[in-house]
Amino acid sequence: MKKLFWSLVVLITFVSCSSDNDDSSSISNQTLTGTVEGQAFTFMGGQAFFRSSTSTEEITIYLTNEDLGCETDFFDYELTISATVPNMVGVYTDINIVTQNGNNTPFNSLGETVEITSVSATEISGKMKLNKEGSEMFAESIFEGSFTVSICE
């Protein structure tokens, strides 16, 4: 009877344990691709900046489908994905991912997940995923994958 009791305790423990499936584990390690504001998008370049000159706690990331880097003014990007993240490796689930098509109004997607996989003095790498379905008023932005951009001064 004692063996049966402990067997049931072990069985219940295994059955009741669940793994937390955070969104980052399902984000592809492939290059970030999909659509941004209804247009095909494959990450090719971008920039990152410390959020303010007095603090290095947050980094704002700009991703584009153009082969551009720190030498380029980020306002020249045709399609842009941007997000501000903490300056450290981790999975962040309350990030505002902003998508923009040229000079059109940016679209905010609040509470999204971004995983930062590495940060150095000169670059930041991570993964992100967004699934914003389109409507009559807003074009879709559906993408996922990884990125690495230089931190510009």
Chain-centroid distance of CA 60 in Å reads 11
Interior CA angle at 96 toward 94 and 99, to 5°?
A: 150
Domain assignment present for residue 23? The answer is no
Domain assignment present for residue 4? The answer is no
pLDDT in tens, 39-51: 999 999 999 998 7
Mean pLDDT of the chain: 82
Interior CA angle at 129 toward 147 and 61, to 5°?
A: 45
- Does position 22 have pLDDT exceeding 90, yes or no? no
pLDDT band at 12, cuts 50/70/90? very low
Domain assignment present for residue 26? The answer is no
Range of the domain at 48: 34-150
In total, how many domains does the chain have? 1
Domain assignment present for residue 84? The answer is yes
pLDDT in tens, 79-121: 999 999 999 999 999 999 999 997 778 999 999 999 999 999 8
